[in-house]
Amino acid sequence: QQQVKQSPQSLIVQKGGISIINCAYENTAFDYFPWYQQFPGKGPALLIAIRPDVSEKKEGRFTISFNKSAKQFSLHIMDSQPGDSATYFCAAGDSNYQLIWGAGTKLIIKP
């Protein structure tokens, strides 16, 4: 019940395309859903986060869509650029302080 399942494991998208990464969770106590971006040799960095009181949040080219009833949330990257090539992690947290992380998606944007 504590797992966060992330898919796909890897993704190749043409430059200018839309990249979509999906996550699913079981624990209904989760109320904070961040996405982190990690480049090789670096620590993860917060990209965007959402709480379950909204169904969508957009920041620039990055959008989180949240479906509370389905217990799913996804990251959309519009107009994907080679600089977006990285590993993306979804995570989920509750009123506690721990985040439960997905296994990551390696995204490659082809020029």
With a CB cutoff of 8 Å and minimum separation 6, the contacts of 53 are: none
Tell me: does residue 1 bind another protein (CB under 8 A). no
x/- contact string, 38-57, with another protein (CB under 8 A)? ---xxxxxx--x--------
**Residue whose structure tokens are 């302080």:** 97
Site for another protein in 66-95 (CB under 8 A): 89, 91, 93-95
Angle at 96 between CA 8 and CA 52, to 5 degrees: 55
Q: Which two tokens stand for residue 98?
A: 């721990």
Instruction: Tell me whether residue 14 or residue 28 sits nearer to another protein (CB atom).
Output: 28
Q: Which stretch binds another protein (CB under 8 A): 13-21, 60-68, 69-77, 96-104?
A: 96-104
Task: Please report how close the Cβ of residue 39 comes to another protein at its closest, in angstroms.
Answer: 10
Q: What are phi and psi of 98, to 5 degrees?
A: -85, 140
Helix/strand/coil for 53? coil
With a CB cutoff of 8 Å and minimum separation 6, the contacts of 20 are: 74, 75, 76, 77
Tell me: does residue 104 bind another protein (CB under 8 A). yes
Task: Please report how close the Cβ of residue 45 comes to another protein at its closest, in angstroms.
Answer: 7
The secondary structure of residue 32, as a DSSP letter, is: B
Catalog residues that contact another protein under the rule CB under 8 A: 6, 32, 34, 41-46, 49, 89, 91, 93-99, 101-104
